[in-house]
Structure 1
């Protein structure tokens, strides 16, 4: 295969922004007031990706364990912050702490297994592997726990009377909230499962497409993509299951009553 990648000139890339103009026109024609959000999102995406591109160039050219750790810490910290912003209900301090704990735990377990047992990267901090792979894993876990947290908080709020009735009948907090916890976990995992169901037929994932464009043989790219998707599934499952199985407890007092 040809290992050269066709570069995009600034002019050619600028042409792609016509799609933003199309979106603005559609929203304007439909009378939907989203113009400001579209422009902010497009500008932020462009600036953030450009800055990240230069940062990654430096990190790739100067690989070191401490630079890699700084990058990973920033990524997971920003992901945790975004979970807080995405959850519509107000979360208590213990619940926010649990979000952070679950994200860090799920990521460390998943990336440890995937990098050291599946890819067997040497050295472990090789940035061109660990940073993009971690980005995909953390990003999907962030989406999963956001969905799970929203579902858990809304379920505890909307079914408060049902939970209290169950407690009065002698149910434990775990039994009284079992369906809510299961629904939260299911809601968090479902998008990843749906993505896996259509992958390869309806859509070609970004990592696989990028590898093919860079000259990698399709079969090699497919093997990497399968491994990544399994890691994403594992990290999302671990992150969410830790969160929901411990998260419901933050809604109860030490005596087992709803706060």
Structure 2
């Protein structure tokens, strides 16, 4: 560990909470009913980060493949649950299963390639790299899949007549859904592409900033950041692709008829949107 790294006292960290007080004052002044949500979010963030910090201290001092893999799968499980929560519709159980399958398969394959081929970790389960880098890739993929899910559901509901018309003209479910699948894929990839466009000129990404603050050479930080962003792009792409090409089939029965039940309607009877 670099001895020159600037450390914080607990009082210094406490001073940062002044920003939350300022936000609460603004909320109160503008009569925005978000005070409770903000307070709960800050408390959860604080407690979760402190717990994770102490867990990582233990894990880094006692590296073990079973512990490393277990932590990554726990993160992946929470990411799947988060996608369910961020979907603005009552989704079918079949789609939930596909979300979980796509995320576990897509992320697992890409993490194995990234850790063993790109980083060439030795040992492969080195928690100092495996856990934080996995967390970054899983988090970005979660956002991409959430967008893919919501845009697929929006497309299927909003273009019901178009799909049925294509089916009546003899198109297969895959052909009838092609434009919706492509649009959902495009929207899922857009945040990752936009992030890559602005990186380095508009902002320094978090991982690169953290490494520079920790005393690493900026060139080393750039190598890590490039590798991670390319890994993120690949993981998001493959995972969303797996999901979309399995999930669209849920909207068709064995006779290739388009089916849209009450369970597909959004919780507010409105088209679902990602926020």
- Normalising by structure 2, report the TM-score: 0.92
Who is 1:29 aligned against? Answer: 29
Who is 1:73 aligned against? Answer: 73
Cα deviation for residue 148 of structure 1 reads 0.6
Asked if the contact 1:252–1:258 (Cα under 8 Å) also holds between the matched residues in 2, the reply is yes
Who is 2:220 aligned against? Answer: 220
Q: State whether structure 2 residue 232 is matched by structure 1 residue 232.
A: yes
Asked if the contact 1:144–1:236 (Cα under 8 Å) also holds between the matched residues in 2, the reply is yes
> After superposition, what is the alpha-carbon deviation per residue over 1:143-199, rounded to whole angstroms, capped at 9, x for unaligned?
000011000011111111211111111111111111111110011000000000000
Who is 1:176 aligned against? Answer: 176
> After superposition, what is the alpha-carbon deviation per residue over 1:199-239, rounded to whole angstroms, capped at 9, x for unaligned?
01111111111111111000000010000000000000011
Cα deviation for residue 115 of structure 1 reads 0.9
Asked if the contact 1:89–1:154 (Cα under 8 Å) also holds between the matched residues in 2, the reply is no
Who is 2:88 aligned against? Answer: 88
Cα deviation for residue 3 of structure 1 reads 5.1
User: Secondary structure in 2 aligned to 1:177?
Assistant: helix
Cα deviation for residue 32 of structure 1 reads 1.1
Following the alignment from structure 2 to structure 1, what is the Cα–Cα distance between the partners of residues 180 and 3?
Answer: 51
Following the alignment from structure 2 to structure 1, what is the Cα–Cα distance between the partners of residues 24 and 193?
Answer: 32
User: Secondary structure in 1 aligned to 2:5?
Assistant: coil
Asked if the contact 1:3–1:214 (Cα under 8 Å) also holds between the matched residues in 2, the reply is no
Following the alignment from structure 1 to structure 2, what is the Cα–Cα distance between the partners of residues 168 and 93?
Answer: 28
Cα deviation for residue 240 of structure 1 reads 0.4
User: Secondary structure in 1 aligned to 2:216?
Assistant: coil
Following the alignment from structure 2 to structure 1, what is the Cα–Cα distance between the partners of residues 195 and 20?
Answer: 25
> After superposition, what is the alpha-carbon deviation per residue over 1:56-104, rounded to whole angstroms, capped at 9, x for unaligned?
1111111001111110111000000000000011211111111111111
User: Secondary structure in 2 aligned to 1:108?
Assistant: helix
Who is 2:268 aligned against? Answer: none
Who is 1:63 aligned against? Answer: 63
Residue correspondences, number: 258
Who is 1:211 aligned against? Answer: 211
Q: Structure 2: any 5+ residue segments left out of the alignment?
A: 260-275
Asked if the contact 1:76–1:104 (Cα under 8 Å) also holds between the matched residues in 2, the reply is yes
Who is 2:186 aligned against? Answer: 186
Q: Structure 1: any 5+ residue segments left out of the alignment?
A: none
Asked if the contact 1:80–1:99 (Cα under 8 Å) also holds between the matched residues in 2, the reply is yes
Who is 2:258 aligned against? Answer: 258
User: Secondary structure in 2 aligned to 1:155?
Assistant: helix
